[in-house]
Amino acid sequence: MIQDQLKTRVVGVDINVDATSCAVVDIRGNIIGQSGFVTSNYESIGDFISVLTEHIMQLSEAHGGYENIRSVGISIPSGNFRTGCIENAPNLPWKGVIPLAAMLRDQLGLAVALANNAHAMALGEQAFGAAHGMRDFVVVSLGSGMGSCIFSNGVVHLGADGFAGEVGHTCIKPGGRQCGCGKQGCLETYTAARGVVLTAQEVMSESDEPSKMRQVEQLTPKIIIELCNQGDALAIETFRRTGYTLGIGLANYASIFNPEAFVFTGQISKAGRWLLEPASESFEDHVFHNLRGKVKLVPSSIPDDVRNVLGASVLAWEVKEYSLFK
Amino acid sequence: MIQDQLKTRVVGVDINVDATSCAVVDIRGNIIGQSGFVTSNYESIGDFISVLTEHIMQLSEAHGGYENIRSVGISIPSGNFRTGCIENAPNLPWKGVIPLAAMLRDQLGLAVALANNAHAMALGEQAFGAAHGMRDFVVVSLGSGMGSCIFSNGVVHLGADGFAGEVGHTCIKPGGRQCGCGKQGCLETYTAARGVVLTAQEVMSESDEPSKMRQVEQLTPKIIIELCNQGDALAIETFRRTGYTLGIGLANYASIFNPEAFVFTGQISKAGRWLLEPASESFEDHVFHNLRGKVKLVPSSIPDDVRNVLGASVLAWEVKEYSLFK
Amino acid sequence: MIQDQLKTRVVGVDINVDATSCAVVDIRGNIIGQSGFVTSNYESIGDFISVLTEHIMQLSEAHGGYENIRSVGISIPSGNFRTGCIENAPNLPWKGVIPLAAMLRDQLGLAVALANNAHAMALGEQAFGAAHGMRDFVVVSLGSGMGSCIFSNGVVHLGADGFAGEVGHTCIKPGGRQCGCGKQGCLETYTAARGVVLTAQEVMSESDEPSKMRQVEQLTPKIIIELCNQGDALAIETFRRTGYTLGIGLANYASIFNPEAFVFTGQISKAGRWLLEPASESFEDHVFHNLRGKVKLVPSSIPDDVRNVLGASVLAWEVKEYSLFK
Amino acid sequence: MIQDQLKTRVVGVDINVDATSCAVVDIRGNIIGQSGFVTSNYESIGDFISVLTEHIMQLSEAHGGYENIRSVGISIPSGNFRTGCIENAPNLPWKGVIPLAAMLRDQLGLAVALANNAHAMALGEQAFGAAHGMRDFVVVSLGSGMGSCIFSNGVVHLGADGFAGEVGHTCIKPGGRQCGCGKQGCLETYTAARGVVLTAQEVMSESDEPSKMRQVEQLTPKIIIELCNQGDALAIETFRRTGYTLGIGLANYASIFNPEAFVFTGQISKAGRWLLEPASESFEDHVFHNLRGKVKLVPSSIPDDVRNVLGASVLAWEVKEYSLFK
């Protein structure tokens, strides 16, 4: 069957609690067009899918034509790549297990792949970002929680039940801070957003030193990072402690897994050297001795506003083209 | 080890009998700069490597700096990916088994990967071309010879001895045309350059019909293709027969291997529909019945002048970064 | 979750046109118990599954207990490993697409994997037979038809549509013998049972030489093999021709695929040296020159009566354990 | 090339500090013959290889003939699978980097594969033991140190530098017990032999309760296990604490990696339920909540005296047959 015209574009969709973003992306990761809408406006999954379908179709028509779209990839919290379902997402409006990929495929007549954010992000970093050319690496996201995705021998490691990568819920301090997951001492209670703020409060209470942090009513990691950049000693100490703990967590990860690199994404990673320098020092102190100086800590090289849609576009290529007539 | 600056470019090198071409290529397959020289000027492999080294260094300096180059990939006839050697290349000036990858690495201080043209080309088509998103496919080159490269389950199939893909030397007609390899009836004696010309001569001798082919002293596939485009019946008949035979050869390939697509490259594939239409018809007639209408025949979507350097650049990413200090 | 007692046995099931055979097999491929029944007694798939379920349960109880069985593997003509369905099996009593694996799983409460015979057989040869330790090899069955299964890089190559391996329907002689598939000149019209008998008839008609074959009313490959062993010249000539054609077909296969070995199973392969010697000679004459002397032609090392159930048992381990309570 | 007689046996070699053990093993993991000698008798690696060569040849001759041996696999501490070298083994007599696989191959004329114990052991458990049928699992050895080997997607995960699996040197308690590696608080300072004895001493010093442990001059894990079996409360408390800490370490491992099972080997694992019950309880308390009740903790199902030679025999099959004449 001669086929002169292969489809050379896909749609990447990033669904998160606040916003849903769609992009038409070509084979080389160029964003041809992008649009979005507010996720939480649609409490019924059926309504959401209708709106999403319309967005994808309009965006595609506006950028090269729907007939040129090969498939769709979705990055979504609690997405299960193996089943194409969202499974009990705690922060999304739709409860239970929802076969989103199949439902959207039936609307669009296009193949749809789906995965959680960390997985999609890691595919993006491998195809177009900091992990290009690596076979064994970890992408770590440090935001409101801490998640990760592992690649082993060049392919994603999902684990026996699809839950691999939950480094945020490794126990870094038995009996330590209370985590939302019900356990105590989880790594993310020190290294994700809420944990950083808590550490800042500890730092302030332990010292008399003046700090602009004391004047802020609602501290956020973003503010603390800004204060670091202004030279605020307690803000810097906050990230020094955060980095120290992060360094231990990653050292343990590395001692078990021996990745070539950890690639960082997420708002906390914006702290840059305030976080990475103490993290690196602590990492080298705690990692298996033969790995000292060998594991790279690198920031993502993909801009924030396209990281997830780009990752989702890579995901789109992993699914076979769909046709009613096969 | 914090690493702010990852190397984001590689050098792709295409060495063939006539010319050697080098390109600085980024992660997304953009050619940043390209240059070349005449291969056959250098009879000693040492001299060749010196000149190649100089070219790569100058080109890199001119396009973002040598310190930004991660590694080098080489596409070369008779290249063995597993050993990094050229092995008894019949048409290159350097005889025997030559560890070209290791020799160049020692000159450059950069990791060097090496593979034969078909392999490099197929990597390029998978990363940036017509095979993007496919897991089981074949790239076929139809030029002075006929070669191919197979991908199985998303990765290259090299075979037990690294010789997989030699479809040009499958026997399509026991006792048929004499092949340069010593056997008779090899597929490429009908489908590669010399074979097409021979078929043209047969076509002319069997008919009294006028044809511009009769006036050409030194027939080439390129001329025959031009004459097809002008409507020359015997030229068209030449490619009809070529396509018929090609269709049988590919049908047998497909019945065994069941690829999603054959992607065509090389000067003979420039015949376009004059070749592909009869090939497709013959293919459907001869393929295992369950595969009828399922296997795509598609031309490469990468321009000729960058196909091999682009493929070589993908190859470059497959090798680990090299450092003297590890 | 402490688990002292892992399940260490599986059930391998071989379903063919005449008989269905079940075996309890341990991790190391020891057949603990075996039983069977007549397939064609059950025209309804529901009845068949009921009887099969009962057989599996009784056999398991008799050999270590049902609670010790981990999972079930099924080898069946036209079985699709990816879907667990039998798909339009021409010779089985049950028509259309039948989700046999899912249906049996629901009866047994055990995970069930399913594949076609060639696939199951090849798994068996890799785990316990002649292909142990090989990464790129082909298992060829020569019986009433000719089929094959390919392993690439250590894993099965099923192809884009799951039809890989149909070497029996490669065209060895354009316009040649009529095949049941509708095409002409298919390899299996020369190398499978009916083809061998046809060749014997041709051999007899072309010669005046006496032969015991002339006295046999209903020639079969088995009889011809016996006559070869008795020194009957025309019987030997029959297999010489068969081997010659087989050699070309396999040489083409090898030139494309470069396997380490072809492993032979099936009644025709019982001809042993009468077939393999001329096949090997023809193979070496027709294969890509760099492969001469490199590709092994080997008979299966697993006894006929357990080959398929053993292969099916290996298949059983490829599926995850099933539990209602997950 | 017809090959009637494939080689159906390999030699597995287990080299450890005290003893070297060799076994002739068939395809199904049956030990045909076994012999051994004292490792430390040979301070020169040349002498050691001479003796090993002689042992392998004699053993092979005594059990089916040397000509029937396909290849050799070696399990050895600090063995690097990728290079075939022993690399700076702290406890073996031979210092530096030694290309043992190549040296032995040159003596024997047979292909030789080499890996560290954990890797070999894990291959054995996958082929013939508790991990049969699993794709994502971890084999943990608890002896004088604590090591592990990871399988991801059915294949071994060695990591970017080949050091994956060093869970014994993850930091379980910042500033905790001094480890021989130079760091403090490594998991193996609590869960390997020396750590268990240290815990016993702590338990005794913290309590006035009588215990037979108090009468033992040179406590060993073996003695403590015996006392557990006799109902000694402080011995039981010793393993309760060991299990608690082990449970946290494994929970963190599992939260990151999500294996189907941990398979335990080594002298400490002989403690059985005294160790596994508290380990399991602690594991469930500390693991990522979605994995509760899902990860199996299982003892190895292969006898101690053949585990490593059996694993080494599986390794032997991973290397290509060697021949001088290729």
Query: What is the distance between the alpha carbons of residues D213 and D230, in angstroms, rounded to a whole number?
Result: 11
> Which pLDDT score, from 0 to 100, does residue A29 have?
97
Measure CB to CB from residue B1 to each of A2, A129, A280 and give the nearest one. A280
Under the banding of pLDDT at 50, 70 and 90, the label for residue D1 is confident
pLDDT at C325: 56
Model confidence at B25, in pLDDT bands (50, 70, 90)?
very high
Dig out the tokens for A141 from the structure. 């996201």
DSSP state of C287: S
Average pLDDT, chain A: 95
**Confidence band (pLDDT; 50, 70, 90) for D137?**
very high
Q: What is the dihedral sign for C-alpha B278, B280, B283, B285?
A: negative
Q: Assess contact for A255 and D170: CB atoms under 8 A.
A: yes
CB-based contact D25:D70 (threshold 8 Å): no
- pLDDT at residue number D90: 85
Quote the pLDDT of residue B184.
95
ipTM rounded to 2 decimals: 0.94
Enclosing H/E stretch for A317: none
pLDDT tens column, A9-34: 999 999 999 999 999 999 999 999 99
pLDDT digits (tens, 9 = 90+) for C204-213: 999 999 999 9
- The dihedrals phi and psi of D282, each to the nearest 5 degrees, come to -65, -40
Q: Which residue of A has its CA nearest to D289?
A: A181
Report chain C's mean pLDDT, rounded to a whole number: 95
pLDDT value, residue D91: 84
Mean pLDDT computed over C160-164: 95
SS3 state of residue D322: coil
| pLDDT grade for A1, boundaries at 50, 70 and 90 | confident
- Choose the closest CB to D174 out of A135, A248, A258: A248
* Res. D108: pLDDT tops 90: yes
Helices (H) and strands (E) in chain D, counts: 9, 13
Q: What is the pLDDT of residue B3?
A: 86
Alpha-carbon distances of A124 from A156, A302, A310, B317, rounded to whole Å: 12, 8, 6, 16
Q: Where are the alpha helices (DSSP H) in chain D?
A: 45-62, 100-108, 117-128, 188-191, 193-205, 221-229, 233-257, 273-286, 304-316
Task: Determine, for residues C157 and B153 on separate chains, whether the beta-carbon distance falls below 8 Å.
Answer: yes
Interchain contact, A273 vs B2, CB within 8 Å: yes
Residue where the block lists tokens 């290509």: D320
Q: Is the pLDDT of residue A273 over 90?
A: yes
CB D17 within 8 A of CB D35: no
Q: Which two tokens stand for residue C317?
A: 């381990």
The encoded tokens of residue B170 equal 């499958």
Stretch C62-86: mean pLDDT: 95
Strands of B39-91 (E only): list them: 69-75, 79-80, 85-87
> Which residues in chain C are closer than 8 Å to B255, comparing Cβ atoms?
166-167, 169-170
- Give the pLDDT confidence of D143-189 residue by residue, as tens digits: 999 999 999 999 999 999 999 999 999 999 999 999 999 999 999 99
Number of Cβ within a 10 Å radius of residue A82: 10
Contact C289/B169, CB-based, under 8 Å? yes
β-bridge partners, C31: C25
8 A C-beta contact, residue B88 and residue B95? yes
CB contact under 8 A, D289 and A182: yes
Q: Could you tell me if D90 lies within 8 Å of chain A, comparing CB atoms?
A: no
Cα-Cα-Cα-Cα dihedral sign, residues D127, D130, D132, D136: negative
Residues of chain D with pLDDT > 70, as a percent, come to 99
Which residues in chain A touch residue B2, judged by CB atoms under 8 angstroms apart?
273, 276-277, 280, 296-298
Alpha-carbon radius of gyration of chain C = 21
CA geometry: angle at A150 spanning B323 and A18, to 5°? 125
φ/ψ region of D84 (left if φ > 0, alpha if ψ in -120 to 50, else beta) reads: left
- Separation between Cα atoms, residue D49 and residue D188, nearest integer Å: 32
Name the nearest CA neighbour of B164 among D320, C166, C288. Answer: C288
Asked whether residue D5 carries a pLDDT value surpassing 80, the answer given is: no
Task: Judge: B163–C291 Cβ closer than 8 Å, yes or no.
Answer: yes
Does the pLDDT of residue B326 top 60, yes or no?
no
Residue B324 pLDDT greater than 80, yes or no: no
The 10 Å Cβ neighbour count of residue C90 is: 11
Nearest CA in chain C to D28: C28
pLDDT of residue C5: 78
CB-nearest to D291 from A157, A161, A285 is: A161
Q: Measured at the alpha carbon of residue C62, what is the angle toward residues C56 and C63, in degrees to the nearest 5? A: 90
| Three-state DSSP state, A182 | coil
Provide the sign of the torsion angle of the four alpha carbons D58, D64, D68, D70, taken in this order. Answer: negative
Tell me if chain D has a CB within 8 Å of the CB of C281: no
Q: Residue A47 pLDDT > 80, yes or no?
A: yes
Average pLDDT over residues B279-303: 96
pLDDT band at D323 (very low <50, low <70, confident <90, very high): confident
Q: B221 to each of A238, B201, B215, B269, how far by Cα in Å?
A: 72, 12, 15, 10
Q: Write down the pLDDT at residue C323.
A: 74
pLDDT tens-digit series, residues A218-271: 999 999 999 999 999 999 999 999 999 999 999 999 999 999 999 999 999 999
* H helix intervals, D142-232: 188-191, 193-205, 221-229
Q: How high does pLDDT run on average in chain D? A: 95
- The DSSP 8-state label assigned to residue C216 in this structure reads -
Question: Is B152 in the C-facing interface, judged by CB distances under 8 Å?
Answer: yes
pLDDT value at position D324? 63
Number of helices followed by number of strands (H, E) in chain B: 9, 13
Task: Give residue D15's pLDDT.
Answer: 97
Compute the residue count for chain D.
Answer: 326
D293 CA to chain C: closest CA distance, Å? 6
Contacts of A284 in chain B (CB under 8 A): 1
CA D298 to chain centre: 15
Average confidence (pLDDT) over C295-299: 96
Query: Given CB atoms, is A277 within the 8 Å cutoff of chain B?
Result: yes
According to the model, what pLDDT value does residue C4 have? 76
pLDDT score, position B325: 56
Query: What's the average model confidence in pLDDT over C259-282?
Result: 97
Contact status of A280 with chain B (Cβ, < 8 Å): yes
> What pLDDT does residue D105 have?
97
Residues 10-39 of C with CB under 8 A from D: 27-30
Given CB atoms, is C127 within the 8 Å cutoff of chain B?
no
Share of chain B above pLDDT 90, in %: 94
Chains that touch C (3 or more CB pairs under 8 A): B, D
Q: Are the C-beta atoms of C295 and C259 separated by less than 8 Å?
A: yes
pLDDT at A325: 56
Per-residue pLDDT for A326 more than 70?
Answer: no
Q: Does C161 touch chain B (CB under 8 A)?
A: yes
> pLDDT tens digit string along A69-92?
999 999 999 999 999 999 988 889
Split at pLDDT 50, 70, 90, the class of D48 is: very high
Mean pLDDT of B219-248: 98
A41: helix, strand or coil:
helix
Q: Are C300 and C118 in contact (CB under 8 A)?
A: no
CB atoms within 10 A of CB B205: 7
* pLDDT exceeds 60 at position D200: yes
Q: Convert the pLDDT of each residue in D240-287 to its tens digit.
A: 999 999 999 999 999 999 999 999 999 999 999 999 999 999 999 999
A122-138 pLDDT, tens digit per residue, is 999 999 999 999 999 99
B259 contacts on C by Cβ (under 8 Å): 159-160
Tens of pLDDT, residues D170-183: 999 999 999 999 99
- What residue in C sits closest to B252 (Cα-Cα)? C170
Can you tell me the mean pLDDT for C224-236? Answer: 98
Backbone angles phi, psi at D141, to 5 degrees: -110, 130
Q: According to the model, what pLDDT value does residue C146 have?
A: 96
Residue type, D42: Y
Q: pLDDT digits over C87-137, tens only?
A: 988 889 999 999 999 999 999 999 999 999 999 999 999 999 999 999 999
